[in-house]
């Protein structure tokens, strides 16, 4: 499959399938609803996908986009696309049509694989994509909403019709790109984060070590696979020989059914997912049939939530990362002596994002001159990262790449402290980011949209607390003299330009607090919103 000598082979997730096929051919690889796919069948479907894409002319360096929920074809694409040396572009299913169009255009995707329930999102833009040659559609029995069937092959027929000749792509360079993941930048259009085969393989090893994945692991797909390639878990679970449990929608009732039916051992998700699970427990004394490893990020879970979830027989691991670092880069590597602490003290340690994965690299907390801040747990600085777990580049954006890598480190824009024991703890995202249900929302993007409204003089958008999503965008607006606007009108206006989840959930009209130089004091607005709210610190 790739260039190998007696003492060296490129690091790549492509090696995980033949290894797990050899070891676990008849063991389950993928559960979805009532269907069970063995590793032998999984490998055959991946091979068929690679051959079918090759028949379309897909080859090294081409981009194949997917707009799919957490269903089996999404897993298959994580292996079938790179089998050809092509780059997987997994698109956020929550984006607005215009944003999806931008990603398809900017990435220059040659093929799109789309679920028919998500296809309406691309319906009006396909004619504007001259580089997009083929749209393959997948019809899922689990789809419940409006569907649209684009012109082009149906996925299962596409696989069945693949020519029989084996794929002979040779991976010569482990630094060859494997995927592009688009992230919302703080200004305007999303940036394409390029992952390499090497980085993806090493991050997968880190996931295996940090979460103790084994051939007995059963992993539930609550985390979107479009998000940092599912934090590399499509590759990691496969490398371990564990079983994937696909989940079209995050429905707590279905989650409990799968926990009981499949004997789940692992899942990932933002605290919003954990709150939904805790709230829908079948009974007050419910316990998981097996210990469940839960990996969470986005904000530290509250002591109450940790107590609820761990009381059901789980172990929570808190991680930190960004799209630019393959998902998680650091995690709270737990010390057994912390087990004896009381709930509040345990939660304090759980809230720390900790230390790097073994293969990831290094993390520092630095001041503006790139000096390390004191390890005192109180002095704040920027998190900078370096090593195997950092992206290759921003796709077609050399200036943005150089800026992010200034001084030889990746600059996260996140603010943290360093504790005496060497563990980092985030104190705030960069001031212009809202983390809502695990998704990053740029307040600048929302503000720029609101500024398009003719009645708006000034606007500031901040993260406001929300019981369901953790936090949501809230807009503070001062109107132009003699002009008027209602809150609903502003929200509706935003919905015309932005994905629904990015739109403000509340609008308040008021004079905005300013510094002596005229800058809006967002910190004043933030503090008022979060006053008295448990779990003020975002991770």
Q: Are 326 and 13 in contact (CB under 8 A)?
A: no
CA neighbor of 486 nearest in space, from 458, 510, 505, 508: 508
Residue with tokens 């300013």: 514
With H, G, I as helix, E, B as strand and everything else as coil, classify residue 133. coil
DSSP state letters, 388-420:
TTS-SEETT-HHHHHHHTGGGSEEEEEEEEE-T
Query: How far is the CA of 423 from the CAs of 110, 270, 323, 433, 438, in angstroms?
Result: 44, 21, 21, 23, 22
**CB count in 10 Å sphere of residue 394:** 23
CA neighbor of 345 nearest in space, from 380, 303, 305, 315: 303
3-class secondary structure per residue, 138-202: ECCCCCCCCCCCCCCCEHHHHHHCCCCCCCCCCECCCCCEEEEEEECCCCCCCEEEEEEHHHHHH
Residues 173-214: pLDDT tens digits? 999 999 999 986 444 688 999 999 999 999 999 999 999 999
The per-residue pLDDT for 130 is: 95
Say which residues have a Cβ less than 8 Å from residue 194's Cβ, sequence separation at least 6.
Answer: 87, 177, 179, 180, 391, 392, 393, 394, 395
Mean confidence (pLDDT) of the chain:
91
Say which residues have a Cβ less than 8 Å from residue 340's Cβ, sequence separation at least 6.
Answer: none
CA neighbor of 81 nearest in space, from 102, 60, 100, 104: 60
Q: Average pLDDT of 11-28? A: 98
Alpha-carbon distance of 83 to 162, in angstroms, equals 15
Residues 306-363: pLDDT tens digits? 888 889 999 999 999 999 999 999 999 999 999 999 887 888 888 889 999 999 999 9
Alpha-carbon distance of 475 to 322, in angstroms, equals 25
Would the pLDDT of 516 be above 80? no
Chain centroid offset of residue 314 CA:
22
Using alpha carbons only, how large is the chain's radius of gyration in Å? 23
The per-residue pLDDT for 442 is: 73
Lowest-confidence range among 87-101, 284-298, 362-376, 433-447? 433-447
- 319-82-169 Cα angle (round to 5): 145
Alpha-carbon distance of 201 to 199, in angstroms, equals 5
Residues 67-85: pLDDT tens digits? 999 999 999 999 999 999 9
Would the pLDDT of 261 be above 70? yes
User: Which two structure tokens, joined as six digits, stand for 256?
Assistant: 């409990």
Residue with tokens 């998700």: 269
Chain centroid offset of residue 469 CA:
15
CA neighbor of 226 nearest in space, from 185, 276, 158, 180: 180
Dihedral (CA of 390, 205, 66, 153) sign = positive
Dihedral (CA of 412, 442, 78, 76) sign = positive
Residues 408-427: pLDDT tens digits? 999 998 888 899 999 998 87
Band the pLDDT of 485: cuts 50, 70, 90: very high
Domains of the chain with CATH codes: 13-17+37-207 (3.40.50.12780), 269-428 (3.40.50.12780), 433-530 (3.30.300.30)
The per-residue pLDDT for 428 is: 60
**CB count in 10 Å sphere of residue 68:** 27
DSSP for residue 211: H
Helix H or strand E segment including 237:
helix 233-240
Half-sphere exposure of 224 (CA within 13 A, CB side): 18
What distance, in Å, lies between the first and last C-alpha atoms of the chain? 40
271 CB burial (10 A radius; 0-12, 13-18, 19+): buried
By percentage, how much of the chain surpasses pLDDT 90?
74
Half-sphere exposure of 365 (CA within 13 A, CB side): 28
Would the pLDDT of 299 be above 70? no
Would the pLDDT of 539 be above 50? no
Residues 424-478: pLDDT tens digits? 988 765 555 788 887 778 777 788 789 889 999 889 999 999 988 888 999 999 9
With H, G, I as helix, E, B as strand and everything else as coil, classify residue 539. coil
CA neighbor of 201 nearest in space, from 70, 360, 65, 66: 360
Helices 233-240 & 197-211, crossing angle to 10 degrees? 60
């Amino acid at each position: 499959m790739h260039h190998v000598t007696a003492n060296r082979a490129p690091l790549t997730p492509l090696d995980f399938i033949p290894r797990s096929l050899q070891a676990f051919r008849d063991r389950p690889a993928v559960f979805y609803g009532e269907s069970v796919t063995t590793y032998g069948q999984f490998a055959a479907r991946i091979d068929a996908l690679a051959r079918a894409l090759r028949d379309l002319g897909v080859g090294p360096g081409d981009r194949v986009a997917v707009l799919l929920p957490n269903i089996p074809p999404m897993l298959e694409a994580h292996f079938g696309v790179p089998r050809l040396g092509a780059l997987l572009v997994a698109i956020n299913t929550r984006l607005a049509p215009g944003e999806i169009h931008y990603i398809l255009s900017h990435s220059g995707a040659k093929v799109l694989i789309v679920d028919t329930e998500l296809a309406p999102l691309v319906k009006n833009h396909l004619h504007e994509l001259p580089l997009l040659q083929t749209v393959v559609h997948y019809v899922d029995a689990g789809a419940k909403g409006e569907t649209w069937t684009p012109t082009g092959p149906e996925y299962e027929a596409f696989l069945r019709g693949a020519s029989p000749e084996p794929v002979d792509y040779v991976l010569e360079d482990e630094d060859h790109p494997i995927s592009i993941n688009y992230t919302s930048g703080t200004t305007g259009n999303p940036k394409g984060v390029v992952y390499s085969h090497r980085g993806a393989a090493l991050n997968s090893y880190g996931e295996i070590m940090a979460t103790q994945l084994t051939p007995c692991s059963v992993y539930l797909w609550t985390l979107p696979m479009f998000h940092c390639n599912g934090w590399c878990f499509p590759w990691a679970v496969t490398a371990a020989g564990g079983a994937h449990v696909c989940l079209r929608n995050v429905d707590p009732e279905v989650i409990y059914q799968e926990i009981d039916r499949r004997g789940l051992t692992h899942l990932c998700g933002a605290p919003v997912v954990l709150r939904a699970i805790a709230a829908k427990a079948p009974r007050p004394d419910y316990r998981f049939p097996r210990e469940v490893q839960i990996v969470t990020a986005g904000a530290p879970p509250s002591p109450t939530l940790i107590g609820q979830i761990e009381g059901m027989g789980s172990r929570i691991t808190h991680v930190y990362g960004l799209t630019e670092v393959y998902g998680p880069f650091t995690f709270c590597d737990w010390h057994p002596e912390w087990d004896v602490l009381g709930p509040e003290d345990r939660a304090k340690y759980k809230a720390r994002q900790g230390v790097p994965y073994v293969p990831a690299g290094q993390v520092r907390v630095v001041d503006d001159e790139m000096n390390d801040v004191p390890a005192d747990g109180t002095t704040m600085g920027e998190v900078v990262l370096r090593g195997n777990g950092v992206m290759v580049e921003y796709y077609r954006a050399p200036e943005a790449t150089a800026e992010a890598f200034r001084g030889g480190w990746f600059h996260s824009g996140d603010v943290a402290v360093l504790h005496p024991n060497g563990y980092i703890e985030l104190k705030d995202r960069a001031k212009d980011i809202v983390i809502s249900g695990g998704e990053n929302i740029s307040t600048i993007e929302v503000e720029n949209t609101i500024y398009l409204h003719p009645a708006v003089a000034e606007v500031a958008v901040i993260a406001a607390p929300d019981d369901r999503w953790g936090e949501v965008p809230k807009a503070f607006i001062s109107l132009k003299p003699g002009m008027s606007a209602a809150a609903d009108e502003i929200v509706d206006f935003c919905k015309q330009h932005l994905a629904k989840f990015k739109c403000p959930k509340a609008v308040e009209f008021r004079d905005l607090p300013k510094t002596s130089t005229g800058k809006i004091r967002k910190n004043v607005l933030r503090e008022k919103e979060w006053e008295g709210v448990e779990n003020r610190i975002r991770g």
